[in-house]
Amino acid sequence: MMRTSRPEAIDRRSLEAVLERWNGTHDLLVELGGRQSLSYGFSATGRELVLRFTLASRWSQPEVEAEIDWVRHLHTGGAPVSPPVASKYGNWVEEVTPTGGTKCLAVVYEKAPGKGINFYRPHEFGQPLFRRWGQAAGRIHALSKSYRPRPGLHRPQFSGESLVALVERSMPPAEAHAIESMRALWRDLDTLPRDEESFGLIHGDLSSGNFAVADGKLTVFDFDSCFYGWFAYDLAITLYFTLFGLHLKQAPLCEAESFFTQLMTGYERENRLREEWMATLPRLIAFFNLTLYAASFHYNWDNPDLVAFIRSILSGDSPYSLLDFADLYASLGDLQVP
């Protein structure tokens, strides 16, 4: 969901006070940055950990505790995710107000082992990874079906209306066609089922920047933006950012097709979506694309490569617009997978 305010830098005294709650120290603290929150790497009790600060005005404490509760459910269920770590006081979330700043909510996760992947290294960005990536997504979605939040905890639901409103107030009059496209898409998507088999808590950004790989094992992190949505929408976001990466390296259509088939081969080992959801993927990708297009105006993004990709999807000029996900999905049974 589109909540992008993040804290400013945290002063040293406030950092030390928070780190002490997890038996950590300021020594060797590394700022990791973040687009929607502010994170630091540190060590404590022999473990590599990540401390994350989120503005309390962005997510409420029950919302952050709901994130933690869900990730604990995923970890207990065997999903490859970085688990949260409670403070020495037994709290999953700690409040802090930095000197001269605004109230933040602090949480700690175990650091995902390994490193990120490189799109330009075939030995890293290849079919075995795509299958593990899909398997991780499938496991998360399968476990979401059985998740029941503790009383008082809640995460937001996907709100097409609020995203359409963002488009309407962010787009200039010259983009009237994009505004009407967004409205029409939402009228269509709003009729999709929201049953337990297709709708639940999702990561919301299961792209290559939100997992690390060590010895062939993939670990997912950064659940800060999780929300209730269609499982297919989670896949659409994964596909979108992967297609953007392929676009940057000018990869042919066959590479995108291979990515999708291997991703879904892994996914099907853990979870299954009805075939008709594959036919919705182009519309879900188009809706997400328009959301980013509106955000590029709203936040005045300085990312010409992404904006160019957004426009190519919007106009249909991208070669990836030719992807037939339903047909590729139907062919999965013909694949020989090791």
Residues 304-314 pLDDT 10s: 999 999 999 99
In a domain, 191, yes or no: yes
> Are 143 and 77 members of one domain?
no
Q: What burial class does residue 177 get, using C-beta atoms within 10 Å of its C-beta: 0-12 exposed, 13-18 middle, 19+ buried? A: exposed
In a domain, 210, yes or no: yes
Instruction: Give 337's pLDDT tier (boundaries 50, 70, 90).
Output: low
In a domain, 142, yes or no: yes
Per-residue pLDDT, averaged over 280-303, amounts to 92
> Are 36 and 185 members of one domain?
no
> Are 68 and 171 members of one domain?
no
In a domain, 211, yes or no: yes
> Are 296 and 233 members of one domain?
yes
At 86, list the tokens. Answer: 């409670």
User: Which of 198, 197, 271, 267 is closest to 238 using CA atoms?
Assistant: 267
State the CATH number of the domain containing residue 219.
3.90.1200.10
Decide if pLDDT at 249 tops 70: yes
> What DSSP designation does 157 have?
B
In a domain, 213, yes or no: yes
Distance separating alpha carbons of residues 29 and 100, to the nearest angstrom: 21
Cα torsion angle, 148, 34, 136, 91, sign: negative
* pLDDT computed for residue 298 by the predictor: 84
Q: How many C-beta atoms lie closer than 10 Å to residue 228's C-beta?
A: 18
Half-sphere exposure of 80 (CA within 13 A, CB side): 22
Name the CA dihedral angle for 211, 98, 88, 110, rounded to a multiple of 10 degrees. Answer: 10
> Are 132 and 100 members of one domain?
no
Using one digit for the tens of pLDDT, what is the confidence trace for 99-119? 777 899 999 999 999 999 887
> Are 303 and 191 members of one domain?
yes
At 220, list the tokens. Answer: 């997912």
Distance separating alpha carbons of residues 313 and 316, to the nearest angstrom: 5
Contacts of 265 (CB under 8 A, 6+ apart): 131, 134, 332, 335, 337
> Are 28 and 177 members of one domain?
no
Q: Which of 83, 110, 137 is the last residue of a domain?
A: 110
> How many domains does the chain divide into?
2
Name the pTM for this structure: 0.94
Using one digit for the tens of pLDDT, what is the confidence trace for 117-156? 887 777 778 899 999 999 999 999 999 999 999 999 999 9
Decide if pLDDT at 184 tops 90: yes
> Are 163 and 209 members of one domain?
yes
User: Which of 19, 74, 77 is closest to 49 using CA atoms?
Assistant: 19
Using one digit for the tens of pLDDT, what is the confidence trace for 84-99? 999 999 999 999 998 7
Q: Identify the domain containing residue 243 by its residue range.
A: 127-334
Q: Which of 110, 144, 179 is the last residue of a domain?
A: 110
> Are 64 and 184 members of one domain?
no
Name the CA dihedral angle for 196, 79, 158, 169, rounded to a multiple of 10 degrees. Answer: -160
Instruction: Give 5's pLDDT tier (boundaries 50, 70, 90).
Output: low
3-state SS, residue 138:
helix
Q: Which of 79, 110, 141 is the last residue of a domain?
A: 110
Per-residue pLDDT, averaged over 223-245, amounts to 97
